[in-house]
Amino acid sequence: MPASTPQSDDFSDAGYRSAVVDLLGLIAYGELAAFERLAEDASLAPSLEDKMALAGMASAQVGHLDRLVDRLRELGADPVAAMAPFRPAIDNFHRHTAPANWLEGLIKAYVGDGLAADFYREVGSRLDEHTRALVDSSLDDSGHAAFVVDRVRRAIADDPRVAGRLALWGRRLMGEALSQAQRVVADREGLSVLLTGSGERPGLDLAAVGHMFGRLTENHVARMTELGLDS
């Protein structure tokens, strides 16, 4: 059955507060990891213009992180403690998907981060209005999607042979990102409760969870098509 969505803050419920802290901690560490990765990827950029673009994208992650940290503190949570449980999964994802070149780094920033953002929004849609707004604002792409699409399409136009390799890379990112999302939910009771429900708080049934992952897949296909790649 569909789950109800809180329309106002419900932090008197300890389980709900714990779930919100989990989600914000997860997103916050994702933003920190994205900042580090984008800064590293800038070293692969072929031009000064591209380096500047990635620097701007990295800077946007810091702004998002600051807002999440502020909110965690408002909830009485230690931001470092809130982020810590998610460090192994996110770091492991980045180790397994280290880009070999500039184009792979761009696709990871667009496809990999896009999948993560879709998942966070799916979970965040089940929270109170204030938290949903914070989650949505923290996942703004700050214009980097258009930049990535432009650079990847240019590269394919210059050398169509790269398309096949990049399409395989996109599929690998898809598989790794979905596996990470499933592991994180399974490992953290707060996030699991948001999806599956607990006590008086209803959750998604198996069919609804399947539809959610179906939407994630559809969004991935749309991004790959926008890049000019097969999914």
Residue-level pLDDT at 6: 46
pTM comes to 0.86
The answer to whether the CB of 38 falls within 8 A of the CB of 109 is yes
The domains found in the chain, sorted by start residue, are 14-227 (1.20.1260.10)
**Three-class SS of residue 101?**
coil
Distance CA 110, CA 99 (A): 13
Residue-level pLDDT at 166: 96
- Report CA-CA distances (Å) from 189 to 90, 100, 194, 196, 224: 18, 35, 9, 10, 33
Q: What is the mean pLDDT, run by run of 10 residues, along the chain of 231 residues?
A: 48 82 93 89 88 87 92 96 93 90 92 88 84 88 83 95 95 88 77 64 63 88 93 73
Detail the DSSP E strand segments found in the chain. none
